[in-house]
Amino acid sequence: MTSAVEELLSLLRLERLEDNLFRGQSRDIGTRYVFGGQVLGQALSAAQQTVEGDRAAHSLHAYFLRAGDIEHPIVYSVERTRDGGSFSVRRVTAIQHGQPIFNFSASFQTEETGLEHQLPMPSVPAPEDVKPADPLPPEVFDKLPTKLQRWFGRSGPFEFRHVYPRDELSPTKRPPFQHVWFRLTERVPDDPPLQRALLAYSSDFHLIGTTMLPHGISFLQRNVQVASLDHAMWFHRPFRVDEWLLYSCDSPTAQGARGLARGMIYSEDGRLVASTAQEGLVRVRNGAA
């Protein structure tokens, strides 16, 4: 297993300090602060470890309260809110430097049968027909700040293939939707709680970026401030994150320095396996986009 995948798995293997108290480390992927997906995945991992039996997470809702410090661990305090006949609910507070940086609630359900329908997967090229992104030319890469060099030059645990690629260094205006094939670069254990934590981690990619597409701006611009405000996710059907998944994202609105993005995640055979929604801060200084 490559160091990037093993490092990600180790992030999600939290240290248990007490029955309802866990500690997780952080990973610098080239962002200024802790990547939001890391906190999502770790919070879900903590909550899952307090749920008995075969109940699986079916939804989560979270608020990002403060920026996370990459250089220090994060403590996750879990409240066992309810264990009913079919559902369990957990609340998680992520704490760093003595302050809450993130609030999270998740609901778990015993497997049941019932009515079933879904929207069809968008008609897009298969992942093997989508060209991987080319690396930046050396003359461009060498001029980037160190943080951005880490972002663009990293060999991360996920492979992304954009159906409609965009140059983040020279963005142009386009409609507010995008389709991205992604998968973990290596096979990992067939462990549903782990798979859900990995999908929660990866779901934080691309959402806020979708809100900026019609304005021709990028998170790389110095006058653009971007941050996740909240995140919601629903798990619908079984999946594997080490097999191709399609992230179909759109942004129905942006206003008041906030943009809303929605996502639907499909397996390669067309099953809708998860849905997401996120509102993010998108603030443009010294003029409007």
CATH at residue 218? 2.40.160.210
In a domain, 115, yes or no: no
β pairing state of 177-184 and 87-96: unpaired
- Other residues' Cβ atoms within 10 Å of the Cβ of residue 206: 21
pLDDT value at residue 149: 61
pLDDT value at residue 21: 98
For residue 25, what are the domain limits?
3-110+131-284
- Low-confidence stretches of the chain (pLDDT < 50) are 288
In a domain, 36, yes or no: yes
**Could you tell me the CA-to-CA distances from 29 to 105, 189, 261, 284 in Å, in that order?**
26, 23, 22, 24
In a domain, 125, yes or no: no
In a domain, 231, yes or no: yes
pLDDT value at residue 147: 60
In a domain, 184, yes or no: yes
Q: What is the domain count for the chain?
A: 1
**Residues annotated catalytic, as ranges:** 204, 228, 278
pLDDT value at residue 168: 81
In a domain, 158, yes or no: yes
In a domain, 119, yes or no: no
pLDDT value at residue 134: 76
In a domain, 123, yes or no: no
CB pairs under 8 A, 24+ apart, for 131-138?
131/161, 131/165, 132/159, 132/161, 133/160, 133/161, 133/162, 133/165, 136/169
| pTM given for the model | 0.93
Return phi, psi of residue 108, to 5°.
-125, 145
| Residue bearing tokens 């019932």 | 114
